[in-house]
Amino acid sequence: MKIFEETMQKLSKSNRRRILYAVILVLGIAVDQLTKALAVKHLAGRVTLPLWKNVFHFTYVENRGAAFGMLKDHRWIFLIFSTVAILALAFYLFRGVSYLSDKREDGSYPPLGTLGGIALSLIVSGGIGNMIDRLALGYVVDFIDVRLINFAVFNVADSFVCVGAGLLALHLLLPFFKKKEKN
């Protein structure tokens, strides 16, 4: 453990962040694929598994569309769009620069920041998790069924994308609030 701590201390702050982002990516993909494998094993062929009746169920769904089942049976469109989006976000993430932010006075861009990096890590891991399903199965396995709000059945990868998008929005909005505090 001491060797690990010494190695981490020798790394630059940006490299430590990149390691954090890579760990989030790998763990996110692993958790997503594990939960989907469990859903296939235990839920396929069942109507639904209520954990809290009419509130929260596990329901196996083969989603052949985009988010929440929209535009069914357009697999190649989603694969192309997902690939381009994932590559672009991964570039921003591991390049350590956010072109989504305002330019500095010297023309450079500010660093992505930890919150923005975590947000992009979650978005990319969710995108890759669903892309793995599309490539391997031709559909995405969904199983989380929140009936209390009558929401579409979704999966862990979808959750990562939504949470990541929320964190990214927060990351992009925080500078505006900081500017108002200074004035």
**Structure confidence at residue 157 (pLDDT):** 96
pLDDT by residue for the chain (183 residues), tens only, comes to 666 566 666 666 666 777 888 899 999 999 999 999 999 999 988 888 888 988 889 999 998 876 655 556 666 777 777 778 777 777 766 665 444 455 556 665 566 778 888 998 999 999 999 989 988 998 999 999 998 888 889 999 999 999 999 998 898 888 777 666 665
What b/e string do you get for 56-72 counting C-beta neighbours within 10 Å, with b at 16 or more?
ebbbbbebbebeebeee
Q: Would you name the residues annotated as active-site residues?
A: 142, 158
Alpha helix stretches (DSSP H) within the chain: 2-10, 13-43, 75-95, 114-137, 156-182
Domain positions in the chain are: 16-42+53-182
**Structure confidence at residue 98 (pLDDT):** 47
Contact 44, 130 (CB under 8 A): no
Contact 63, 83 (CB under 8 A): no
pTM equals: 0.78
Residue 155, CA distances (Å) to 72, 77, 104 in order: 17, 20, 39
Give dist(CA 89, CA 87) in Å, integer: 6
